[in-house]
Amino acid sequence: MLEQTLKNNNIKPTTIRLLVLRKLIESETALSLSDLVENIEQADRATLYRTLKTFENKNLIHSIDDGSGSVKYGLCAVGCGYKLQDQHIHFHCMKCEETYCLTQTKIPRIQIPIGFETANANMVLKGTCANCSSTLQYSCITFIRIFAFNENHVLHIEFLLYGAGWASMC
Ligand SMILES: [Zn+2]
Ligand SMILES: [Zn+2]
């Protein structure tokens, strides 16, 4: 099944690629290169990095800038072209520092000034994940960052929402 997943994305199966794919599938959260280095002894950092880049170029995984300074990688949904309308929200837990793909929650369309055309978007919510919520009083900080750009313009919008009223999200 793992081999078939690689073949479906035009990636030649190798031992290391299969190991990396297994780790990504087994993980509940998105993984960083360092996470893989810690967990896969059979390959060095450079090989694992190349493997991630191959997966990313073949649309098997997507990279996530969660604002933590360490790029994470999450699996793409089958058939996902990673077009704007396919892009989902990511959630970064400030307690355990894990990053989740909220694949069922798409990035909402937002109004931007006339003349701007969105080509890509990155939305990261920050707060407390379900695994940590029982141990933290609810006081969430939600950080939303959206990049919208085309060849002529770069638009960077940041929202920072502090709220204790987000009980359902915390
Ligand atoms: Zn957490
Ligand atoms: Zn994701």
Report the pLDDT value the prediction gives residue 79, as an integer from 0 to 100: 62
Ranges of each domain in the chain = 1-76, 83-170
The ligand placed nearest to the CA atom of residue 93 is: 1
Q: How far is the CA of 91 from the centre of ligand 2 (A)?
A: 9
**pLDDT at 100 exceeding the cut of 80:** yes
Looking at all shown ligands, the one closest to residue 100's CA atom is 2
- Nearest ligand to the CA of 130 is 1
For residue 73, give the ligand nearest its CA: 2
Read off the pLDDT of residues 113-156 as tens digits, 9 standing for 90 and up.
999 998 888 999 999 999 999 754 444 445 555 555 444 444 44
What CATH fold (topology level) applies to the domain 1-76?
Answer: Arc Repressor Mutant, subunit A (1.10.10)
128 CA to middle of ligand 1, Å? 5
Which ligand sits nearest to residue 134's alpha carbon? 1
Mean pLDDT across the stretch 13-23? Answer: 97
Query: Cα of 9 to ligand 1 centre, how many Å?
Result: 31
Q: How much is the average pLDDT of 4-27?
A: 95
Burial of 91 (0-12, 13-18, 19+ CB in 10 A): buried
pLDDT: which is higher, 147 or 56: 56
Count of all residues that appear for the chain in the document: 170
CA 27 to centroid of ligand 1, rounded, Å: 14
Contact 19, 40 (CB under 8 A): yes
User: What sign results for the dihedral spanned by CA atoms 137, 96, 2, 83?
Assistant: positive
Q: In the structure encoding, which two tokens stand for residue 98, read together?
A: 């894990």
The answer on pLDDT for 99 being more than 90 is yes
Ligand 1 ion: Cβ-proximal residues, 5 Å cutoff? 93, 95-96, 129, 132
Give the percent of the chain with pLDDT over 70.
74
